[in-house]
Structure 1
Amino acid sequence: MAFLSVLLLGVAFVVGSLPLGHWLLARLGVNTRTHSAYNLGVENVLRRVGPGPALTSAALDFAKGFVAVLMASSLHSPELCVLAALAAYLGHLNPPRFLYGDMPPRGRGNLVLLGVLAGLSVAGGLSLWLTVLPVVVYATAVGFWGYVSTATVAGLLTFAGLVALSPLGIPAKLGALGLLVAATWRFKENLGRILDRTEPRFGEDVPMAGKRPDQVVTAFMIHPMTLENFWQSSRFAWMKPLVERGVISEASVRQMAQNLRPMKVGELHGIKTVEGKEIRCYLLSSPLLPDVFRDQPELATRRAIEGARLAHELGAEVFGLGAFWSVVGNKGVDVQAAVPEITVTNGGAYTSGTIKAAIPGILEHFQQTGRDLKQATAGIVGANGVVAFGIARTIAPQVGKIIMVGRDMERLNRSANTLRRAAKDTEIVTTTDYSTLKEADLIFSATSDPNPVIFPQHVKPGAWLFDEGRPADVDESVREVPGARIIPGGVVRPPGGMTSNIDLQFGEGAVPACLAETLIIAATGEHDRKSLGPQTLTENINFFVEQAEELGFTVVD
Structure 2
Amino acid sequence: MLFLSIVLLALAFLVGSLPLGHLLLARLGLDTRVNSAYNLGVENVLRRVGPGPALLSAALDAAKGFLAVLMTSSLSGVSGSGPELSVLAGLAAYLGHLNPPARLYGATAPRGRGNLVLLGVLAGLSVAAHLNYWYTVLPLVVYAGVLGLGGFVSVATLAGLAVFALLIGLSGLGVAAKLAALALLLSAAWRFKENIGRVLDGTEPRIGQDVPVTGKRDDVVVAAFMIHPLDLQDFWQSRRFSWMRPLVQRGVIREQTVRQMAESIRPMKVGELSGIRTTGGKEVRAYLLSSPLLPEVFRDNPELATRRAVEGARLAQELGASVFGLGAFWSVVGNKGIDVQAAVPGITVTNGGAYTSGTIKAAIPGILQHFQAEGRDLKQATAAVVGANGVVAFGIARTIAPQVRRVIMLGRDLERLERSANTLRRANKDTEIITTTDYGALREADLIFTATSDPDPVIFPQHVKPGTWIFDEGRPADVDDSVRAVPGVRIIPGGVVRPPGRMQTQVNLHFGEGAVPACLAETLIIAATGEHERKSLGAQTLTENVNFFVEQADRLGFHVVD
TM-score interval (norm. to shorter): over 0.9
Structure 2 residue aligned with 1:146, among 137, 148, 151?
A: 151
Q: Please give the per-residue CA displacement for 1:176-204, whole angstroms capped at 9, x wherever unaligned.
A: 11110011110111111111111110000
Q: Please give the per-residue CA displacement for 1:300-357, whole angstroms capped at 9, x wherever unaligned.
A: 1111111111111101111100001101111111111111111111000000000000
Q: Does 1:517 align with 2:509?
A: no
Comparing 298-307 with 196-205, which one deviates more in the overlay?
298-307
| Paired amino acid for 1:197 | G
Matched position secondary structure for 1:33? helix
Structure 1 distance, partners of 2:95, 2:544, is: 53
Q: Conserved in 1, the CA contact under 8 Å of 2:496 and 2:516?
A: yes
Structure 2 residue aligned with 1:96, among 89, 101, 106?
A: 101
Structure 2 distance, partners of 1:73, 1:402, is: 82
Matched position secondary structure for 1:219? strand
Q: 1:483 matched to which residue of 2?
A: 488
Off by >6 Å, runs of 4+ in structure 1: none
Instruction: Report how many aligned residue pairs link the two structures.
Output: 557
Q: 1:547 matched to which residue of 2?
A: 552
Q: Please give the per-residue CA displacement for 1:195-233, whole angstroms capped at 9, x wherever unaligned.
A: 111111000011000111111110000011112111111
Q: 2:512 matched to which residue of 1?
A: 507
Q: Conserved in 1, the CA contact under 8 Å of 2:265 and 2:292?
A: yes
Q: Please give the per-residue CA displacement for 1:241-267, whole angstroms capped at 9, x wherever unaligned.
A: 112222222222222211111110000
Q: Conserved in 2, the CA contact under 8 Å of 1:33 and 1:106?
A: no
Q: 1:5 matched to which residue of 2?
A: 5
Q: Does 1:403 align with 2:408?
A: yes
Q: TM-score, normalised by structure 2?
A: 0.97
Q: Please give the per-residue CA displacement for 1:43-83, whole angstroms capped at 9, x wherever unaligned.
A: 21123233222222211111111111111111222111111
Comparing 315-324 with 238-247, which one deviates more in the overlay?
238-247
Deviation of 1:6 after TM superposition, in Å, equals: 2.2
Q: Does 1:242 align with 2:280?
A: no
Structure 1 distance, partners of 2:201, 2:298, is: 25
| Paired amino acid for 2:98 | L
Structure 1 distance, partners of 2:187, 2:159, is: 13
Structure 2 residue aligned with 1:418, among 416, 419, 423?
A: 423
Q: Does 1:15 align with 2:20?
A: no
Q: 1:327 matched to which residue of 2?
A: 332
Structure 1 distance, partners of 2:397, 2:389, is: 11
Q: 1:136 matched to which residue of 2?
A: 141
Give the alignment's Cα RMSD to 1 decimal. Answer: 1.1
Structure 2 distance, partners of 1:20, 1:276, is: 40
Structure 1 distance, partners of 2:321, 2:443, is: 47
Structure 1 distance, partners of 2:276, 2:22, is: 36
Q: 1:210 matched to which residue of 2?
A: 215
Q: Does 1:534 align with 2:546?
A: no
Q: Conserved in 1, the CA contact under 8 Å of 2:22 and 2:36?
A: no
Q: TM-score, normalised by structure 1?
A: 0.98
Q: 1:111 matched to which residue of 2?
A: 116
Structure 1 distance, partners of 2:335, 2:434, is: 29
Deviation of 1:7 after TM superposition, in Å, equals: 2.4
Q: Does 1:433 align with 2:402?
A: no
Structure 2 residue aligned with 1:279, among 264, 284, 289?
A: 284
Comparing 17-26 with 288-297, which one deviates more in the overlay?
17-26
Q: Conserved in 2, the CA contact under 8 Å of 1:36 and 1:106?
A: no
Deviation of 1:553 after TM superposition, in Å, equals: 0.9
Q: 1:73 matched to which residue of 2?
A: 73
Q: 1:357 matched to which residue of 2?
A: 362
Matched position secondary structure for 2:35? coil
Matched position secondary structure for 1:202? coil
Deviation of 1:5 after TM superposition, in Å, equals: 2.3
Q: 1:310 matched to which residue of 2?
A: 315
Deviation of 1:471 after TM superposition, in Å, equals: 0.4
Structure 2 distance, partners of 1:496, 1:31, is: 31
Deviation of 1:508 after TM superposition, in Å, equals: 0.8
Q: Does 1:224 align with 2:229?
A: yes
Comparing 235-244 with 5-14, which one deviates more in the overlay?
5-14
Q: 2:383 matched to which residue of 1?
A: 378
Q: Please give the per-residue CA displacement for 1:411-441, whole angstroms capped at 9, x wherever unaligned.
A: 0000110000111001111100001110100
Q: 1:197 matched to which residue of 2?
A: 202
Q: Please give the per-residue CA displacement for 1:386-435, whole angstroms capped at 9, x wherever unaligned.
A: 11110000000100011111110000000110000111001111100001
Structure 2 residue aligned with 1:158, among 147, 159, 163?
A: 163
Q: Please give the per-residue CA displacement for 1:433-455, whole angstroms capped at 9, x wherever unaligned.
A: 00111010000000000000001
Q: Does 1:122 align with 2:90?
A: no
Matched position secondary structure for 1:34? helix
Deviation of 1:132 after TM superposition, in Å, equals: 0.5
Comparing 148-157 with 524-533, which one deviates more in the overlay?
524-533
Deviation of 1:106 after TM superposition, in Å, equals: 2.1
Deviation of 1:125 after TM superposition, in Å, equals: 2.7
Structure 2 residue aligned with 1:180, among 178, 185, 189?
A: 185
The verdict on how the C-alpha distance between 1:219 and 1:492 changes in structure 2, with shifts beyond 3 A counting, is same
Q: 2:41 matched to which residue of 1?
A: 41
Structure 1 distance, partners of 2:109, 2:257, is: 30
Deviation of 1:24 after TM superposition, in Å, equals: 2.2
